[in-house]
Amino acid sequence: MAEVAHAEVGHGDAHDDHHEQSFWSKYVFSTDHKIIGFQYMFTGMAMALIGGYFAYVFRMQLAFPGNSIPFWGTLSPAAYNSLVTNHGTIMIFWVAMPVLIAAMGNFLIPLMIGCDDMVFPRVNRLSYQIFLLSAIVLIISFFVPGGGFGGAWTAYPPLSAKAEYNSTPFGAPLWLIAVTLEIVAFLLGGINFITTTMNARAKGMKMYDIPMIVWMIVIASILFMCSVGPLIAGAVMLLFDQTLGTAFFDAAAGGDPVLWQHLFWFFGHPEVYVVLLPAFGIVGEITCTFARKKLFSYKLILYSTIGLGILSFFVWAHHQFISGVDPRATYLFTTTTLLISIPVAIIMFAYIATLYGGSIRFTTAMLFGLAFTGEFLLGGVTGIWLGSSGVDIYLHDTYFVLAHFHYTFVPIAIIATFAAVYYWFPKMFGRKMNETLGKFHFWGTIIPFNGIFIPLFILGAGGQHRRIYNYQHFPDLAGADMQDMRVFATISLIVMLAFQLVFIANFIISLKKGEKAGKNPWKANTLEWITESPPPHGNFGETMPTVYRGPYEYSVEGREQDYWPQNEKPESEPS
Amino acid sequence: MKTMEPAYGGREIPERRSGLSNGALGMIVFIGTELMFFAALISAFLIISAAAEAWPPEGQPRLPIVITAFNSLILFASGWMMYKAFQPFKIDPYSEATRKQVRLTMWLGIIFVGIQGIEWIRLLSYGLTMTSSQYGAFFYLIIGTHALHAIGAVIGLLRLSRKLDAGDLKEETFHAVQLFWYFVVGIWPILYVLVYLS
């Protein structure tokens, strides 16, 4: 019966009709996993432009306080708060999540495990539609009376719970509704990813033949599914506090504001790993392909990832060391936080070991992949200080924290995403991206990125607090040397944003005029490279692939070619 | 580098796995999320009620323990009927026995939701609302969430029943609805003991 179910689901629904479809049914209401992946990717990129624009506006205010900002005007304190809040919200929920998990998961999972579509294609379409709705609700919230929500992306009550404090009577509930809808969208996507990978793999693909990125996305989805319930519960309670007048988080009426922090961070910390793991997966694939070497210790990476996932549920209170958490509990959470660096370090070392002795090709994708490994390491290492409760009491809520998590999130959401786009662009659109423009874009992204956040580390260690509208009002923070660093960071940001135009130009030009890629431009092993570029509806045509080996058999001795596709029949068997 | 041929060469290619169906696996993942959702509500309830001076607070109406205990029995009976529906379903999905059991499950579920609704109206008339106290807020939050799940599950049962009558049902749909109904029934005693008996 299970086999019948496979057949029914795989070929059921809208998948019987391979005839010409109208634009709307092909690109807007499609159930094809590739189209849904593109929808997620382009929506995420559009939202990234909004998030980047917000960063530009508030960085300008910090560098040149009170001056009129080009393309914005004078920035009010309320608008500043709203921009900071929504920059964080957008970059995590509407950029990192859709591009890394949803776009990559949708596009890659069925192709890499060798099936024709997700097992629940209509649930998949619904997932994107809810996601799009959530993005629209969020954008509407910027324009309602009172403006967009300004209580920081963590939305701590009582600031977030009462309109008399946050003065955004409509922005705050809309923000919460948007976040909740977005979460529901990924819930539906996650069900699809897990079920598809478990049930619809190509014939012969055993557990240890699954490409690492698919494992990483599946584990990330499991983390997401297990952690998201508390956030939804908290969001519903906060929404009732805002709109119905309940007092779940109101200490004056017997509620508990720290309860929100627990519910939020119980989700919030696994969420970091939810976006990190796909990035790790992307970089793992790229490292192997361009080092022409087998992934170092596949099983160890897999087990480390599972261990990391389990541990990530026991670290959340390290965000709350100064929220009145019992000091004895902080010891516990310091220990778990430091422990979690071990699996992460194992994965990093495994990637470095994969490079060792390889014949490395410095394509743009590989450069971004290597940059991820290096820059993320800085983010991880600075986290060790913040994880220690004693140090954190001083550094909490300073720019040191801010620089730390940007050194993790920018490599995840920006650098790894670029690596993925440069790497899979030929498969997505049938043409290669321009390598010269790509390298130009690479250096123009990486150098300014460090230029933004290294000064912020120094400023944070010097005591510069977060979420301040104008540092000139604080004598300790208004010195010329500190202001110079703020200006340097802002100019670096503008340079980095300007170089993204190179990427956009490269993307559009390559769509039309890029070099034809063919089926397997990088000579990689995984199943997505055996089909046409771009893959047709149904992915593999008439015969679905059969898998004979693991995904990383590069430079195998005794073979003429240095790669060995997963579906190639061994010579010992008659073909 | 050693050649990898022996490790991967002569492997047998197994036929497609027949483990859990897509519907069942997807539903199990979803129920996992739901369990964490209820766990968060329950832990919030425990934290707030433990910190309160008196629980239930004074001057608030008491919850109907006896009627709800009776209502719980109806819900358990409904879960049992769902279980009973599985045996004829395995023999013949569209037999009269299966359809009868599914309809019984659904009607018992509807009675459960109906009695809950009547009790809610009475409690509201006694002055227990979401804003009257933390007690009322958590009661409506937790029990209301369960009621929404019960209503959703009853709609699922209704669709299942329709599809059985029409003779057009995938086995995995049956498994998915069945699992979700077990979840709604199974989480109820925990909520009853915590919210009603505390």
Residue B115: CATH number of its domain: 1.20.120.80
- A with B: how many residue pairs have Cβ under 8 Å apart? 157
A347: pLDDT strictly greater than 50: yes
Alpha-carbon distance of A465 to A562, in angstroms, equals 53
Q: Does residue B15 lie in a domain region?
A: no
| Whole-angstrom distance, CA of residue A78 vs CA of residue A88 | 16
State the average pLDDT over residues A284-310.
Answer: 95
Are A225 and B29 within 8 A, CB to CB? yes
Scanning every residue of chain A, which has its alpha carbon at the shortest distance from the alpha carbon of B173?
A5
pLDDT tens figures, B159-196: 999 999 888 888 889 999 999 999 999 999 999 999 99
In the chain, the amino acid numbered A428 is: M
Q: How far is B1 from chain A (nearest CA, A)?
A: 6
Q: Nearest residue on chain A to B52, judged by CA atoms?
A: A254
DSSP secondary structure string, A495-512? HHHHHHHHHHHHHHHHHH
Q: CB burial class (10 A; 0-12, 13-18, 19+) of residue A546?
A: middle
Give the number of other CB atoms < 10 A from CB of residue B37. 19
* pLDDT tens string B17-72: 557 889 999 999 999 999 999 999 999 999 999 988 888 888 888 899 999 999 99
| Residue B4 in domain | no
Look at residue B13 and tell me if it is in a domain: no
Joined tokens for residue A337: 């936080």
- In DSSP terms, A465 is beta-bridged to A398
In this prediction, residue B5 carries a pLDDT of 41
DSSP, residue by residue, A228-251: HHHHHHHHHHHHHHHHT---TT-G
Q: Do B13 and A556 touch (CB under 8 A)?
A: no
Whether A243 has a pLDDT exceeding 50, the answer reads yes
Using a CB-CB cut-off of 8 Å, the residues of chain A touching B9 are 570, 572
Higher-scoring residue by pLDDT: B36, A543: B36
Predicted confidence (pLDDT) per residue in A244-262, tens digit: 999 999 999 889 999 999 9
> A24 falls in which pLDDT band (50, 70, 90)?
confident
pLDDT of residue B9: 44
> What values do phi and psi take at A258, rounded to 5?
-70, -25
Contact: A263, B40; criterion CB under 8 Å: yes
Q: What is the mean pLDDT of chain A?
A: 92
Contact check, Cβ <8 Å, A195/B2: no
CATH of A36-530, one of 1.10.1060.10, 3.30.390.10, 1.20.1050.10, 1.20.210.10: 1.20.210.10
Note the pLDDT of residue A327: 86
For residues A275 and B116, what is the distance between their CA atoms, to the nearest angstrom? 41
Q: Which domain holds residue B102?
A: 22-50+66-196
> What residues in A contact B2, CB-CB < 8 Å?
557
Per-residue model confidence (pLDDT) at position B171: 86
Q: Is residue B60 in a domain?
A: no
A553 contacts in chain B (CB < 8 Å): 4, 8
Chain A CA closest to residue B169: A5
β-strand partners of A431 = A516
- Using a CB-CB distance cutoff of 8 angstroms, which residues of chain A are in contact with residue B124? none
pLDDT greater than 80 at residue A338? yes
Query: What would the mean pLDDT of A53-75 be, rounded to a whole number?
Result: 95
Mutate to test the interface with A, among B20, B21, B141 (most CBs of A within 10 A): B21
Locus of tokens 């049956």: B174
Q: Hey, what are A328's tokens?
A: 């004895």
CA distance B94 to A513: 58
Asked if B141 and A5 come within 8 Å (Cβ–Cβ), the reply is no
Per-residue pLDDT at A462 exceeds 70: yes
H-run or E-run covering A518: none
Rounded CA gap, A171 and A173, in Å? Answer: 6
Q: How far is B34 from chain A (nearest CA, A)?
A: 6
Q: Please count the structural domains in chain B.
A: 1
Task: Give DSSP secondary structure letters for A468-486.
Answer: -S-GGG-GGG--HHHHHHH
Sign of CA dihedral A18, A20, A25, A27: positive
Chain B residue at shortest CA distance from A254: B52
Min Cα–Cα distance to chain B from A9, Å: 9
Q: Most distant CA pair in chain B: distance in Å? A: 79
Give the Cα separation of A464 and A457 in Å (integer): 10
In chain B, which residue's Cα lies nearest the Cα of A236?
B141
Tokens of B98: 């299966």
- Mapping DSSP to helix (H, G, I), strand (E, B) and coil, where does residue A446 land? helix
Q: Give me the residue spans of the domains in chain A.
A: 36-530
Of B11 and A567, which is predicted with more confidence? A567
Q: Per-residue confidence at A362, pLDDT binned at 50, 70, 90?
A: very high
Mutate to test the interface with B, among A4, A119, A195 (most CBs of B within 10 A): A195
Please indicate whether, in this complex, the C-beta atoms of A187 and B30 are within 8 angstroms of each other. yes
Helix A212-243 × helix A257-291 angle, to 10°: 160
Q: What is the pLDDT of residue B179?
A: 95
Closest by Cα among A359, A100, A376 to A213: A100
Task: Single out the residue of B157, B38, B147 nearest to residue B103, CA to CA.
Answer: B157
Tokens of A133: 């709705």
Task: State the DSSP code for A15.
Answer: G
Q: What is the 8-class DSSP label of residue A116?
A: S
pLDDT band at A12 (very low <50, low <70, confident <90, very high): very low
- Pick from A396, A381, A402: nearest CA to A338: A381
**Does residue A575 carry a pLDDT above 70?**
no
Q: How far is B180 from chain A (nearest CA, A)?
A: 15
The residue ranking higher by pLDDT, A1 or A503, is A503
Average pLDDT over residues A340-365: 95
Average pLDDT value for residue range A55-81: 94
For residue B94, name the pLDDT band (cuts at 50, 70, 90): confident
How many Å separate Cα B104 from the centre of its chain?
A: 16
Pick from B25, B131, B134: CB nearest A244: B131
| Confidence class for position B14, pLDDT limits 50, 70, 90 | low
In a domain, B104, yes or no: yes
Q: Check whether A14 has a pLDDT greater than 50.
A: no
Collect all residues of chain B within an 8 Å Cβ-Cβ radius of residue A566.
none
The reply to whether B95 falls in a domain is: yes
Q: Answer yes or no: do B34 and A229 touch at CB < 8 A.
A: yes
Which pLDDT does position A18 carry in this prediction?
A: 52
Mean pLDDT for A306-313 is 95
The answer on pLDDT for A308 being more than 50 is yes
Q: What is the DSSP string of chain B?
A: ----HHHHTT---PPPP-SS-HHHHHHHHHHHHHHHHHHHHHHHHHHHHHHSSSSSPTTSPPP-HHHHHHHHHHHHHHHHHHHHHHHHHHH-TTSHHHHHHHHHHHHHHHHHHHHHHHHHHHHHHTT--TTT-HHHHHIIIIIHHHHHHHHHHHHHHHHHHHHHHHT---HHHHHHHHHHHHHHHHHHHHHIIIII--
Partners of B19 on chain A (C-beta within 8 Å) are 2, 198-199
Give the closest of B8, B22, B130 to A9, CB-based: B22
Residue A398 forms beta bridges with which residues?
A465
Token code pair at residue A267: 């989700």
SS3 of A1, please? coil
Choose, out of B1, B8, B22, B37, the residue to mutate when testing the contact with A (most A CBs < 10 Å).
B22
- Preferred mutation among B8, B89, B138, B149 to probe A, highest tally of A CBs within 10 A: B8
Nearest to A95 by CA among A49, A28, A151: A49
Contacts of B130 in chain A (CB under 8 A): 240, 244-246
Q: How far is CA B69 from CA A46, A548, B89, B189, in A?
A: 54, 58, 30, 9
Do B1 and A557 lie within an 8 Å CB cutoff? yes
Residue B17 lies in a domain: no
- Using an 8 Å CB-CB cutoff, list chain A residues near B3: 556-558
Mean pLDDT within A296-312:
95
> Cβ of B16 and A230 within 8 Å?
no
Give the contacts of A25 (CB within 8 A, at least 6 positions apart): none
A-chain residue closest to B34, CA distance: A229
**B118-152 confidence digits (pLDDT tens):** 999 999 999 999 999 999 999 999 999 999 999 99
Using the beta-carbon criterion (under 8 Å), do A555 and B1 form an inter-chain contact? Answer: yes
- HSE (CB half, 13 Å, CA atoms) of A436? 3
In the predicted structure, residue A79 carries a pLDDT above the cut 90: yes
Distance of CA B108 to the CA centre of its chain: 14
Q: What is the interface pTM, i.e. ipTM, of the complex?
A: 0.91
| Alpha-helical runs (H) found in A292-357 | 298-311, 327-355
DSSP A323: T
Mean pLDDT of chain B: 89
> Per-residue pLDDT for A233 more than 50?
yes
Position B135 in a domain: yes
Model pLDDT, residue B6: 37
